[in-house]
Structure 1
Amino acid sequence: MGYLKRGRFIIFTLVFFILILVTVVMNISLIEEELKERGNFETENAVDLSFNKFSEDQIIEFINEVKKDKDLIIKYYCSVVSEIKVSGPNILGVHFNDKFTKDFSLKEGRFFNKEDFDTYRKVVVVGKDILPFTKESNGYRYVTIGEDDYEVIGVIDGKDKISTSEYILYNLNPVIKEEHNIIDNSWVIDSNVINRDEITKRLINIESKSNEGKINIHERGKALEKGDSVYLIAETLGALGLAAIAVLLSLIRAIDLWIQKLSIEIGVRFCSGGSKGDIIMLLLKKYMVMSFISSIIAGGVLSILSNLNITNLILFEFNIKVIVVSMILGILMGVIIIPLLVLKFKSMNASKLMKGGV
């Protein structure tokens, strides 16, 4: 087993190769899922709305006017939830008069209704993965928003770890009424029945009735286009891609150094009548064993990182299929690289190899 000791740099490099490749694949999947999920929460009619030189009271007054339009859906991407560590767009305040943009598959309970909004009822609908973080009292579950407890009335049956299973949707009306840190951006106005141009026209019409600041309206559905999602993936994972290239080059160098360390053994086998094909097969067998060991180590590291959940920026997840595919890719690189490196022995005699020369 001395070849494992001599090949420890290969094992170390393969572990990093598998870790990076699995991380790249899983994060691409994460971004694609988030883009799909955003498509589920919004139609192509959605627009971003922000306020310029509006006070908090003026923003509330404007939103209350928007609420009167039965065709419009209001979404507020702002975290006002306490005690639960869910960040970004996973927390969403909503108000609608007719129907939301998505029919959710509920594991239990119900979705919001008109009475909830009209009576300013403090209620939330959460993804199933949020349930363990809710508070329970008298048979009911609650999520703290601001200083108040909001009752969980429905649980979304998200189909995977990313997706809707980690969402918190809350009734926006009581938050607006009680003025819980209302900010001038993070607003989205959507509709199931009118297009983006009509939404924009109605918002401008509401603005014209006030003597306040200026509203800013931007297209939102455009970010859902395929080209933009590809750009987002490339931008987010560019650093990981460069790291993967660096590790690949390191792997080639590691295999070269490993073969150099085995030059004496290779020389002995040449003297014993071994052919280049025999040498290549021997090296490949040893390389495959090291690849298998590397996969086990990488799987253990990924499992630990996944459980620690050390960052929200990069997803670390144990995925046996991706690990196996990464191991196979590592083996294929060895199948290509090792024969090429062995070819340089052609011009060398066995005695030189046995002296450690390559």
Structure 2
Amino acid sequence: MKFRFNTMSFFLICIFSAICISSVSLFAAIEERTVISEISRGSYSENAVHFTFKEDNWCFESLINQLLRSRLSDFVLIYDDYEKHIRQIYVMGNNDPPPMLSGRYFNEDDFDSGKAHAVIGTNRLHEVINKNGRQQIKVENTMFDVIGIVGYRIHTMLDDMIIVNADALSYKSNNNNIFILDAYSGKPPGHCINVYKDLEQNVTDGMSQGNQVPITLLEIKPGGIDRLLQSIISITTIYLLLIVCYVLCSIAISFEWISKKRREIAVKRLIGWSDRRLKIEIYLKYFIFAFIGSGLGLMGIYFFGTLITKVEYILAVVLLNIFMGWLITIPPVKKMLKVSVTEVLR
């Protein structure tokens, strides 16, 4: 198969590049809005459970000890001091880290091991002390080793945070008595409430009969979910309108491109080429246009600094372009193959 580059080919490649750029921009926009929405509600999922701990002689260790008795895993306990931007967490099993700029986030091995670790935002870097080759930060008179920098590519509330392992601090602010249980994303939505019920049962079992249970479930619904959905619908609608325009332009160009090959196609049919063989040749040329357009589109995206965080996005865009390359050839090819050889060569 000979591949000749002409004006029609150029326009088709440009359209495939535009489809690629639009598709990746859509994926990146949805991902960014999803991440920002999660950060704005506290970097925990919409299924997280909020509760209060009303024990008079409050002790973080007692709450953690009750969690250690749980039959469940893959969750994180969160407690925030909103005034000082300090977050204490306790992880059991797997957990979902917030966006990281460098280093690593907490894992289960960082707890109950005598370690004092911290993950900090960029606005806290000036508080870091280099001591004996170790990067440390002081939190409530306790020194923590900095193991990572949390944050996103734009300014968010994460930039001001210090996140520490709760068993190394066990500090409680006077202005907040709300705790959060959040489950690992690999678990079903009801996992958070199951962990809370297990915690509540463990607390109840350890109390004297007749005493009031010191933990209370709160009906708090994380905000931002509806706005996120509306935003995704809006940008997806714009994307689909663009795709329709690209398809219509491509079909118009394809009619012109194939009409210029009418005599070539007629001669090939005259010498014995089947319709199936002719279709395959045309489809292959369009697939080549799609691959070239995808490559140029990805180069353009890289040049303009759009971040592609998942390889799946690239694969999806290439497959979409191949599908579009096949789709836009169907109307002109069907029309061309209905024309008889004698009519073309007349």
Smaller-chain TM-score range? 0.5 to 0.7
Q: Distance in 2 between matches of 1:63 and 1:289?
A: 72
User: What is the aligned counterpart of 1:93 among 88, 91, 108?
Assistant: 88
Partner of 1:326: 317
Partner of 2:154: none
User: What is the aligned counterpart of 1:137 among 105, 123, 130?
Assistant: 130
**Counterpart residue type for residue 145 of structure 2:** I
**Counterpart residue type for residue 10 of structure 1:** I
How far apart are 1:262 and its partner, in Å? 1.6
Partner of 1:313: none
TM-score by length of 1: 0.52
TM-score by length of 2: 0.54
User: What is the aligned counterpart of 1:13 among 9, 14, 18?
Assistant: 18
**Counterpart residue type for residue 285 of structure 2:** K
How far apart are 1:48 and its partner, in Å? 0.2
Q: Distance in 1 between matches of 2:337 and 2:113?
A: 81
Partner of 2:253: 258
Partner of 1:195: 198
Is the Cα–Cα contact under 8 Å of residues 10 and 290 in structure 1 kept in the other structure?
Answer: no
Q: Distance in 1 between matches of 2:277 and 2:136?
A: 68
Q: Distance in 2 between matches of 1:265 and 1:342?
A: 12
Is the Cα–Cα contact under 8 Å of residues 78 and 180 in structure 2 kept in the other structure?
Answer: yes
Q: Distance in 2 between matches of 1:219 and 1:6?
A: 54
Is the Cα–Cα contact under 8 Å of residues 14 and 330 in structure 1 kept in the other structure?
Answer: yes
Q: Distance in 1 between matches of 2:254 and 2:50?
A: 59
User: What is the aligned counterpart of 1:345 among 306, 331, 336?
Assistant: 336
How far apart are 1:256 and its partner, in Å? 0.5
Partner of 1:290: 289
User: What is the aligned counterpart of 1:124 among 92, 114, 117?
Assistant: 117
SS in 2 for 1:153: strand
**Counterpart residue type for residue 5 of structure 1:** F
Pairs within 5 Å for 1:1-358: 1-2=5-6, 3-16=8-21, 18-19=23-24, 23=28, 47-49=49-51, 65=58, 67=60, 69-70=62-63, 71-72=65-66, 75-77=78-80, 92-94=87-89, 100-102=91-93, 111-113=110-112, 123-126=116-119, 135-138=128-131, 139-143=133-137, 151-153=143-145, 155=147, 169-170=163-164, 176=172, 182=175, 187-188=179-180, 195=198, 197-198=200-201, 205-206=213-214, 217-218=218-219, 237-239=232-234, 241-243=236-238, 245-270=240-265, 272-274=267-269, 277=276, 280-303=279-302, 316-320=307-311, 322-345=313-336
**Counterpart residue type for residue 255 of structure 1:** S
Q: Alpha carbons of 1:301 and 1:262: their partners in 2 closer, same or farther (altered >3 Å)? A: closer
SS in 2 for 1:188: strand
Q: Alpha carbons of 1:136 and 1:258: their partners in 2 closer, same or farther (altered >3 Å)? A: farther
**Counterpart residue type for residue 76 of structure 1:** Y
Is the Cα–Cα contact under 8 Å of residues 49 and 196 in structure 2 kept in the other structure?
Answer: no
Is the Cα–Cα contact under 8 Å of residues 13 and 254 in structure 1 kept in the other structure?
Answer: no
CA deviation digits over 1:181-209, x for unaligned, max 9? Answer: x4576x326997972554897997548xx
Q: Distance in 1 between matches of 2:247 and 2:328?
A: 7
Q: Kindly report the root-mean-square deviation, in angstroms, between the aligned alpha carbons of the 2 structures.
A: 5.9
Gapped regions of structure 1 (runs ≥ 5)? 51-58, 83-90, 117-122, 157-165, 208-214, 224-228, 309-315
Partner of 1:162: none
Task: Give percent identity, aligned residues only.
Answer: 10
Q: Distance in 1 between matches of 2:197 and 2:237?
A: 44
CA deviation digits over 1:120-150, x for unaligned, max 9? Answer: xxx53339x99999834122213476xx796
Aligned length: 282
Q: Alpha carbons of 1:332 and 1:189: their partners in 2 closer, same or farther (altered >3 Å)? A: closer
**Counterpart residue type for residue 16 of structure 1:** I
Q: Distance in 2 between matches of 1:170 and 1:234?
A: 32
Is the Cα–Cα contact under 8 Å of residues 81 and 144 in structure 1 kept in the other structure?
Answer: no
How far apart are 1:4 and its partner, in Å? 3.0
Q: Distance in 1 between matches of 2:332 and 2:279?
A: 10
Is the Cα–Cα contact under 8 Å of residues 15 and 295 in structure 1 kept in the other structure?
Answer: yes
How far apart are 1:7 and its partner, in Å? 1.8
Q: Alpha carbons of 1:320 and 1:198: their partners in 2 closer, same or farther (altered >3 Å)? A: closer
**Counterpart residue type for residue 322 of structure 2:** I
SS in 2 for 1:7: helix
Partner of 1:86: none
Q: Distance in 2 between matches of 1:236 and 1:66?
A: 42
Q: Distance in 2 between matches of 1:277 and 1:219?
A: 62
How far apart are 1:21 and its partner, in Å? 7.0
Partner of 1:210: none
